């Protein structure tokens, strides 16, 4: 029962690729956003905060539709990318990674902001009085101290990316070998006659991956926190 077919293994491998790519692309953006939203004081900060966290409250299908409008071949960004660089995101695994990244970015930012809130600003102020510049303070003090949140955010976003469905199927459809990730394969099995066994396997695999990701995220955050003496 727990032996995956070739198509299911392909969907699983594709899910790992898409979730990994989305987490890697989100990482520098999430660090910058979490720092700006936590320590920054600038006009429009609250609006930026709302936009970053908007995917948490919007239906995933709505997010996928917005991406389709913007990054489709006739969309303002998608048409420009295709005409100038030959890059097509819609109906591709790169587009699946984009949709997954948009949906998982708020989770990564929230984890990093929680960790950054626990960093004592006095340490940065002391470094500044000793002549350390902004970049030096960030790289040598702030970034290491917020590393538990960074690791937790990456793992949580990766785990959430493995289960993203609505935005992906709306933006890039359900193409075997290209955009059919694990949740889309589960959906396909549910729509297929005699697909109950495959659906059960994929559901159990999804549950196991989700639990494993959450436990790993908590373990890494606690381990790094203890190492830092927090």
Tell me: the pLDDT tens digits for 21-58?
999 999 999 999 999 999 888 899 999 999 999 999 99
Other beta carbons within 10 angstroms of residue 153's beta carbon come to 31
Question: What is the reported pLDDT for 230?
Answer: 57
Q: Among positive and negative, which fits the CA dihedral 12, 16, 19, 22?
A: negative
In a domain, 1, yes or no: no
DSSP string for residues in the chain = --PPPHHHHHHHHHHHHHHHHHHHHHHHHHHHHHHHHHH---TTHHHHHHHHHGGGTS-HHHHHHHHHHHHSTTSHHHHHHHHHH----TTSHHHHHHHHHHHHHHHHHHHHHHHHHTS-HHHHHHHHHTT--HHHHIIIIIHHHTHHHHHHHHHHHHHHHHT--HHHHHHH---TTTT--HHHHHHHHHTSTT-HHHHHHHHHHHHHHHHHHHHHHHHHHHHHHHHTT-
The answer to which of 109-118, 129-138, 221-230 has the lowest mean pLDDT is 221-230
Residue range of the domain that includes 74: 6-227
pLDDT band at residue 17 under the 50/70/90 scheme? very high
In a domain, 176, yes or no: yes
In a domain, 138, yes or no: yes
What CATH number corresponds to the domain at position 198? 1.10.3720.10
Question: What is the reported pLDDT for 225?
Answer: 66
- pTM for the whole structure: 0.90
As a whole number, the mean pLDDT across the chain is: 90
CA distance 221 to 227: 10
How many Å is the Cα radius of gyration of the chain? Answer: 20
In a domain, 15, yes or no: yes
Other beta carbons within 10 angstroms of residue 36's beta carbon come to 16
67 vs 41, residue with greater confidence? 67
Question: What is the reported pLDDT for 229?
Answer: 62
For residues 143-166, give the mean pLDDT: 90
Question: What is the reported pLDDT for 2?
Answer: 65
The four Cα atoms 62, 182, 98, 27 give a dihedral, to 10 degrees, of 120
Question: What is the reported pLDDT for 228?
Answer: 63
Question: What is the reported pLDDT for 15?
Answer: 95
Is the pLDDT score of 227 beyond 80?
no
CA distance 166 to 147: 31
For residues 148-168, give the mean pLDDT: 91
In a domain, 73, yes or no: yes
pLDDT band at residue 89 under the 50/70/90 scheme? very high
What percentage of the chain reaches a pLDDT higher than 90? 63
In a domain, 78, yes or no: yes
CA distance 147 to 153: 10
For residues 2-20, give the mean pLDDT: 90
Number of domains comprising the chain:
1
For residues 174-189, give the mean pLDDT: 94
In a domain, 69, yes or no: yes
CA distance 95 to 76: 15
pLDDT band at residue 223 under the 50/70/90 scheme? confident
């Amino acid at each position: 029962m727990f032996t995956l077919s070739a198509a299911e293994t392909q969907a699983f491998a594709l899910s790992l690729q898409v979730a990994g790519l989305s987490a890697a692309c989100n990482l520098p953006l999430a660090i910058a956003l979490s720092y700006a939203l936590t320590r920054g004081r600038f006009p429009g900060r609250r609006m930026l905060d709302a936009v970053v966290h908007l995917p948490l409250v919007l239906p995933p299908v709505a997010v996928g539709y917005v991406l389709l409008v913007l990054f489709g071949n006739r969309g303002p960004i998608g048409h420009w990318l295709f005409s100038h660089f030959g890059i097509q995101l819609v109906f591709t695994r790169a587009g699946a990674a984009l949709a997954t990244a948009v949906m998982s970015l708020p989770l990564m930012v929230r984890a990093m902001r929680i960790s950054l809130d626990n960093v004592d600003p006095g340490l940065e102020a002391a470094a500044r009085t000793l002549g350390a510049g902004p970049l030096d303070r960030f790289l040598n003090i702030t970034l290491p101290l917020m590393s538990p949140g960074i690791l937790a955010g990456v793992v949580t976003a990766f785990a959430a990316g493995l289960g993203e469905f609505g935005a992906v199927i709306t933006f890039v459809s359900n193409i075997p070998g290209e955009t059919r990730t694990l949740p889309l394969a589960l959906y396909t099995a549910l729509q297929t006659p005699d697909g109950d066994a495959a659906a059960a396997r994929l559901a159990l695999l999804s549950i196991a991956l989700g639990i494993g990701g959450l436990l790993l995220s908590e373990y890494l955050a606690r381990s790094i926190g203890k190492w830092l003496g927090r």
